């Protein structure tokens, strides 16, 4: 929420909107058919699948109404069903009486946003508090402030806030998934079992994902057409799909007839074998390879049809709703905006720019400390499992 707005407890927790039939407006000569969400309603649906509509406690099918987000207004309009005399479809039309009650219920809770300030509110607050006669910035266009705010938000999400998202995905037969729209870097990939327990998937150094395969003739000379190099699909990815990782790790099936008789004997008697463990191959969780150029992540064949969790860092600029700033970092955003705006203007004294550079650095450091979220009880819980004793 912005500093200039307040939210009541009812607005925060309520995700159901009631309309009386008399509140509806007329559309195409049909009275009381359009119902628009008020500006004070906190959680407005974005798509028609986000909510359920009831008319006098009777659930309405999606063919009974239309959904609109035109001009920033979210509205639902009841429509008359067409009567098809040829197919004897005599379904009655949807009519709204003044005493009817329309209930619109959102499917998902989206509480917890009070900790954040939207980018739109932050820019509005900055224009009120920092721009004008006698203030730090005499005049600046709102579009310029928005540009700097988005750029600063990216840096905050990289270094301070570290916006981490989690996707649940099923690995297709192609063994590749696309990178998310706002992907910056991965944090961890894991597959999860029937109990919901995650098993880490390790990155692989055993193979790679070429961006192209160069076509050659029988003499291994490169092939061209119209002075352009001919390329094809790389074969290495197809070969890796059918590869058994156990051939690399040296794993043996414990049900093998020769396992108990020869494995331990060979391990002691023979020299020159590999000693120590390589996490990349000494596990049964599979591996993944990142194709940076084509924006894909590929997996080993043993992960086919498995469900995975994909944790990654986002730059926070995917959608308008995601462009928000934690209140712990709000002051850092304002200081950064002042510095970025003044440093790009001609005629501003260097000592003024240096002053706000120092203020920006201090505010960002405070934000980083606040968002680190260290809790002594959690640290003690982790350290109890370590060999060194500590007092707590």
Backbone angle region of 327, left / alpha / beta, with phi > 0 → left and psi within -120 to 50 → alpha: alpha
Q: Are residue 284 and residue 192 in the same domain, yes or no?
A: yes
For residue 22, what are the domain limits?
9-111
Instruction: Give every CB contact of residue 127 below 8 A, 6+ residues apart in sequence.
Output: 142, 145
Q: Are residue 173 and residue 309 in the same domain, yes or no?
A: yes
Encoding tokens for residue 219?
């003499």
Q: Are residue 247 and residue 345 in the same domain, yes or no?
A: no
Are 299 and 317 in contact, with CB atoms under 8 Å apart? no
- pTM listed for this prediction: 0.60
Instruction: Give every CB contact of residue 164 below 8 A, 6+ residues apart in sequence.
Output: 187, 311, 312, 313, 314
Residue 263, in any domain of the structure = no
Alpha helices in 25-107 (DSSP H): none
| Angle in degrees, CA 195, 199, 200, rounded to 5 | 160
Phi, psi of 317 (to 5 degrees): -115, 25
Question: Residue 293's pLDDT is what?
Answer: 79
- What is the total count of domains within the chain? 3
Q: What average pLDDT does the segment 95-100 reach? A: 84
Q: Are residue 234 and residue 302 in the same domain, yes or no?
A: yes
Residues forming beta bridges with residue 376, ordered by sequence position: none
Q: Is 360 exposed, middle or buried (0-12, 13-18, 19+ CB in 10 A)?
A: buried
Residue 392, in any domain of the structure = no
- Count the neighbouring beta carbons within 10 Å of the beta carbon of residue 157: 23
Band (pLDDT 50/70/90 cuts) for residue 248 is low
**Residues 7-36 pLDDT 10s:** 666 666 667 888 888 888 888 778 888 888
Residue 247, in any domain of the structure = yes
**Residues 171-229 pLDDT 10s:** 998 888 999 888 888 889 999 988 888 888 888 777 777 777 888 888 888 888 877 88
* Cα–Cα distance, 234 to 209 (Å, whole number): 8
Question: Residue 234's pLDDT is what?
Answer: 76
Residue 257, in any domain of the structure = no
Of 372, 321, 336, the residue nearest 155 (C-alpha):
336
Q: Are residue 200 and residue 288 in the same domain, yes or no?
A: yes
Domain boundary among 259, 293, 314: 314
Domain boundary among 314, 335, 361: 314
Q: Are residue 181 and residue 310 in the same domain, yes or no?
A: yes
Encoding tokens for residue 307?
């469900």
* Cα–Cα distance, 336 to 160 (Å, whole number): 13
């Amino acid at each position: 929420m912005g500093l200039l707005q307040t939210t009541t407890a009812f607005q925060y927790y309520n995700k159901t909107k009631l309309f009386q039939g008399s509140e509806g407006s007329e559309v195409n000569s049909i009275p009381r058919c359009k119902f628009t969400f008020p500006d004070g309603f906190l959680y407005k649906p974005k798509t028609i699948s986000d909510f359920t509509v009831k008319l006098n406690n009777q659930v309405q099918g999606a063919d009974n109404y239309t959904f609109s987000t035109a001009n920033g207004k979210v509205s639902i309009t009841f429509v008359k069903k067409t009567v098809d005399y040829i197919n004897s479809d005599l379904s009655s039309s949807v009519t709204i009486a003044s005493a009817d009650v329309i209930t619109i219920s959102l499917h998902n809770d989206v509480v917890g946003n009070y900790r954040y300030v939207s980018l739109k509110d932050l820019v509005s607050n900055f224009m009120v508090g920092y721009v004008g006669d006698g203030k730090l910035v005499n005049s600046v266009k709102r579009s310029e402030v928005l540009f700097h705010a988005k750029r600063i938000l990216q840096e905050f999400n990289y270094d301070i806030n570290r916006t981490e998202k989690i996707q649940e995905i099923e690995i297709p037969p192609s063994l590749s998934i696309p990178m998310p729209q706002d992907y910056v870097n991965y944090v961890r990939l894991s597959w999860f079992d029937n109990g919901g327990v995650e098993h880490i998937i390790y990155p692989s150094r055993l193979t790679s994902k070429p961006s192209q395969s160069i076509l050659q003739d029988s003499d291994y000379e490169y092939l061209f057409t119209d002075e352009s190099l001919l390329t094809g699909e790389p074969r290495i990815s197809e070969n890796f799909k059918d590869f058994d990782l156990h051939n690399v790790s040296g794993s043996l099936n414990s049900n093998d007839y020769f396992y108990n008789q020869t494995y331990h004997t060979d391990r002691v008697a023979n020299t020159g074998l590999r000693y120590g463990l390589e996490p990349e191959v000494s596990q049964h969780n599979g591996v993944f390879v990142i194709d940076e150029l084509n924006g894909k992540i590929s997996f080993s064949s043993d992960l086919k049809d498995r469900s995975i969790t994909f944790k990654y860092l986002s730059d926070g600029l995917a959608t308008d709703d995601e462009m928000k700033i934690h209140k712990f970092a709000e002051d850092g955003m304002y200081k950064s905006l002042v510095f970025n705006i003044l440093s790009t203007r001609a005629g501003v004294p260097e000592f003024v720019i240096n002053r706000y550079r120092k203020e920006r650095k201090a505010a960002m450091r405070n934000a980083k400390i606040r968002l680190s979220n260290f809790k002594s009880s959690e640290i003690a819980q982790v350290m109890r499992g370590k060999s060194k004793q500590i007092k707590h």
